[in-house]
A and B are shown apart, each in its own frame.
Chain A
Amino acid sequence: MWSSLKEFFSSEAVFLAANYIFFIYGIILMSFYFTGVILASRAIKRNKRKSLFLQVNDIVSATDIPSISVIAPAYNEGLTIIENVKSLLSIQYPYYELILVNDGSKDDSLEQLIEEFQLERRDATFITQPIPTASVKHFYRSKLSKYTHLTVLDKNNGGRADALNAGINFASSELVVCTDADCIIEQDALIKMVRPYLEENEKEIIACGGGIGIANDSVIKNGVLKELRLPENLVPMVQVVEYIRAFLLGRMAWSEINGLMLVSGAFGMYPRKRVIEVNGFDAKTVGEDLELCIRLRMLMEEKKLPYKVVYLPETLCWTEGPPDHSILIKQRDRWARGLWETLKIHRKLFLNPKYRYMGILFYPYWLFFEFGAPIIEFLGVICIIAFAFFGMINWPMAILLFTAAYLIGCVFSTAAIFMYVKNFDHYHKPKQIIELLLAAYLEPFLYHPILVYGQMKGYYKKIFGIKSGWGTMTRKGFKVSDT
């Protein structure tokens, strides 16, 4: 065993093959990122120009803009449920209803809601169920006139996807926004999100996502983000950079070529009739947001209908990122499993010309570079250790290569921060920018290895069939200001 291992890692051919594989993989990935920077810059510039002619004020008093249902599932969120619902009720849009789905909570969430909003129980017999879900026990409406747009669905537990489906069934609006009860949504988010649906003529918008920001340690007042602060701890601080990079560079770039395969589960808008047509979210996967978006795209490809998945660069939704390593690992473990499951479900897309770019480019990208990256990184670490052990590594050269790769990574992060600072004014103080840059430069050492560990843990569970659900995501909660 040992001798064969030694023979394997000491072999010049293996060493060369490994070198070439990692090098080519890295070069292709860098090319994607580089193209992403160019596409994202173009998209942001165009978006900024277009927005001058699509001013919200022009239609804000209109009475015929589409109605929207905001669907927020909640499970055992009694600690923050009232604040969260108040926050979601404060969104400014003339025709929206909030459907809060109590997904069989075992705590006193429902009782609190009934008391705070003076809810009245209604019979759920006649609720149509175009998407099958766990049974809805009752629905509740407020007796108070100021909360007429609030509905609480009380159903048996079925998971987040199932709760969203129940909300979609109940909604009567054209568009549905799927979010989480603990998200802080910008007041004008809905009117901005509805814009692509109103302005598109030739293609149908099947999904629209907005930027999501990390707001740990920020101050919330009356459900509204009063003061955005950078997180105090490194883990959420790096996530700020990670989200900026992922949303501003990644999603914006993919959106530019209509290649978005994912609209984030924390904040995504869909036309209700299309979601029903594909039978809603898949309750069997933990990556239900990615899975739905892919299924919607497949539907349109199969029907040969022109469509678009749109992403708005502005941060419209604020969420609390995992505050420490252990919760981060749980989150990334779940994301990795969701990705695995979704790619497996839709494996027929791989290099399938029937689905055009989706089959030929987008799916393979996700497979090789979103799904494959942690595996390649993990294998890379193993190879370095093994080759080092057998004395195959030219250390000065390796250090130089590492420095180059590290600096290239820093360039992409810096580019994302620059684009964000230039176009948005959330982080404009020099101190904040310096902190963001430092977090970006420390990321490869203090954050990324943990991320890879979390992802590999998820894959490990899938390989060995270890059952695991959503996991408990303990949150600290936002700072609530009373003044």
Chain B
Amino acid sequence: MNESSILILIGFVFAVLVIYWISIVISVIYRRNRTKRLQKIEMTFAEIVSGYLYNDPNDPLTLTEINKTLKNVGIKKQNKNNIQFLIGLMIRTQRTILGTNFYKLQKLYSQIPPYRVSINKISSWSWYRKARGIREIYEMNQSQYLDEIFKYRNHRNIYVRREAQIALVVFLGWESLRFLPYLKRNMTLWQQIKIVEKLYDHYPKPELKWLHRAYKTERLFGKKLLMRIIRKYELHAETGYIVDNLNHEDYEVRETAIYCLQTFALSKSKISYVKVLFEDITDPTQQGQLLNYLYHNSEMDLDFYMKQLNNASDDLKLSIAEILWNNGYKEKVQEFYYKQYPAETELNVE
């Protein structure tokens, strides 16, 4: 390596540095201008929505005026970023409005740009655009595209299929349980929670026939999803499904069952059944969680706790000992721990 080649290297590196400086300057200027533009669009949109929803009969806001105003602030077909921002605003506004205004707003949305932008995204090759399109469609409640979206429920891209599954929930409600617990691909906890939340938001009244049909699923995520739905809707009559899964062979299904059970108080007969299942659970942590549930939700059962004290793992023993100790069985705990020592050991106790 000679001096001239190092000089070339220095020149090159310096040029890269200059490019970065220019990029930073552009980025700062762009952000500043963009923020101003977006604020302007937001303000204009807010005025349009309020004017449209609470129209002044003497000076009504016409559709032509609305479209012209939007065009003036940059809502044009070629300005994709502005249109995307407007869609975001529309979704946000729709989420906060209820009653007749909600339907008025939907009517407005169908008459102003962007036209068919979301549905066009679905045919894109990019997972990001496709998933985004589906999201916009269900957020804007465009149920006419359900058939188009339905086929993506098992899509290979996780985000595309997730959004399609949420769309099913939004459009079909409880009937979506015909499909959801039987999907080909696994469902993440996030997705399960989101499905439960969307279902609860849009369809707060349970339709048990769909739930009962879904009980047939053997899919692990399906079982977990159904238990979460039972929990969210506080379906006391359906707790049997949760209890039946307490001793499931899969760790996570058991975990979900124990977790969901915490919401409910069970009848005496069911508690007795849970106590039977307790011994089938092999994991000490899960046993501990269930023990905690039993302690807080049932009457003191000395025989049960004494049996566990003699059989359970060391960590669990301490929890059981604490329960017994706090419930007036100190002598039982002492007796148990004294038994741990050989008979000839002299105990240093008072």
Contacts and interface: CB of A to CB of B under 8 A. Distances in A.
B188 A422 contact: no
Interface string A23-63: 00000000000000000000000000110111000110111
A125 B197 CA distance: 41
Listed residue (B6, B31, B132, B259) with the most chain A CB atoms within 10 angstroms of its CB: B6
Interface stretch (A241-249, A315-323, A402-410): A402-410
B193 A198 contact: yes
Given A126-B322, A404-B9, A428-B31, A417 B228 contact: no
A53 B135 contact: yes
Contact of A64 (B6, B163, B193, B319): B193
A449 interface: no
Interface string A409-432: 011001101100110010010100
Contact of B10 (A64, A201, A404, A422): A404
Contact of A407 (B14, B158, B321): B14
Contacts of B28: 421, 428, 430, 433
B303 to A, nearest CB: 21
Interface stretch (B19-27, B97-105, B236-244, B266-274): B19-27
Contact of B6 (A195, A200, A404, A417): A404
Given A64-B231, A126-B321, A400 B10 contact: yes
B6 A397 contact: yes
Contact of A198 (B159, B189, B197, B318): B189
Contacts of A52: 132, 135
Nearest to A196: B190
Interface in A179-217: 195, 197-202
Nearest to A416: B20
B258 to A, nearest CB: 12
Given A64-B193, A411-B17, A417 B24 contact: yes
Contact of A414 (B17, B128, B196, B228): B17
A199 B190 contact: yes
Contacts, number: 103
Contacts of A62: 193, 196-197
Interface in B193-239: 193-194, 196-197, 228, 231-232
B325 interface: yes
B16 interface: yes
Listed residue (A64, A130, A202, A425) with the most chain B CB atoms within 10 angstroms of its CB: A64
Given A64-B228, A404-B6, A415 B20 contact: yes
B319 A396 contact: no
A403 B9 CA distance: 10
B190 A421 contact: no
Given A50-B159, A128-B315, A408 B13 contact: yes
B257 interface: no
Given A128-B318, A400-B3, A404-B10, A54 B24 contact: no
B328 to A, nearest CB: 15
B125 to A, nearest CB: 15
Interface string B12-53: 011011001101100110010000000000000000000000
Contacts of A202: 186
Given A53-B135, A59-B194, A422-B27, A401 B6 contact: yes
Nearest to B190: A198
Contacts of B194: 58-59
Contacts of A50: 159
A201 B232 contact: no
A128 B321 CA distance: 11
Nearest to B162: A53
Nearest to A407: B13
B230 to A, nearest CB: 11
B347 interface: no
A31 B325 CA distance: 63
B196 A64 contact: yes
A197 B192 CA distance: 13
B261 interface: no
A146 B260 CA distance: 26
Interface residues of A, number: 45
A63 B232 contact: yes
A199 B159 CA distance: 10
A421 B186 CA distance: 38
B197 A61 contact: yes
Contacts of A195: 190
Given A64-B231, A126-B325, A400-B3, A54 B190 contact: yes
B20 A418 contact: yes
B interface residue count range (under 10 / 10 to 19 / 20 to 34 / 35 or more): 35 or more
A327 interface: no
B313 to A, nearest CB: 10
A273 interface: yes
Contacts of A408: 13
A383 interface: no
Contact of A59 (B13, B159, B197, B231): B197
A65 interface: yes
B109 to A, nearest CB: 20
B285 interface: yes
B197 A400 contact: no
Contacts of A128: 315, 318-319
B2 to A, nearest CB: 8
B259 A64 contact: yes
Contacts of A64: 193, 196, 228, 231-232, 259-260
A54 B28 CA distance: 27
Nearest to B256: A64
Contacts of B315: 128, 130
Contacts of A401: 6
Contacts of B20: 411, 414-415, 418
Nearest to B322: A126
A418 B27 CA distance: 8
B7 interface: yes
B193 A126 contact: no
A234 B239 CA distance: 62
A465 B41 CA distance: 66
B285 A273 contact: yes
A52 B162 CA distance: 12
Contacts of A61: 197
Contacts of B135: 52-53
Contacts of B31: 425, 428
Interface string A320-353: 0000000000000000000000000000000000
B131 interface: yes
6 contacts: A59-B190, A59-B193, A64-B196, A64-B232, A273-B285, A414-B21
Interface of B: 3, 6-7, 9-10, 13-14, 16-17, 20-21, 23-24, 27-28, 31, 128, 131-132, 135, 158-159, 162-163, 186-191, 193-194, 196-197, 228, 231-232, 259-260, 285, 315, 318-319, 321-322, 325
Given A128-B315, A417-B24, 4 more contacts: A64-B260, A195-B190, A199-B189, A422-B27
A-B interface, 7 closest residue pairs, ranked by CB to CB distance from nearest: A198-B190, A126-B322, A407-B13, A199-B190, A414-B20, A400-B6, A198-B189
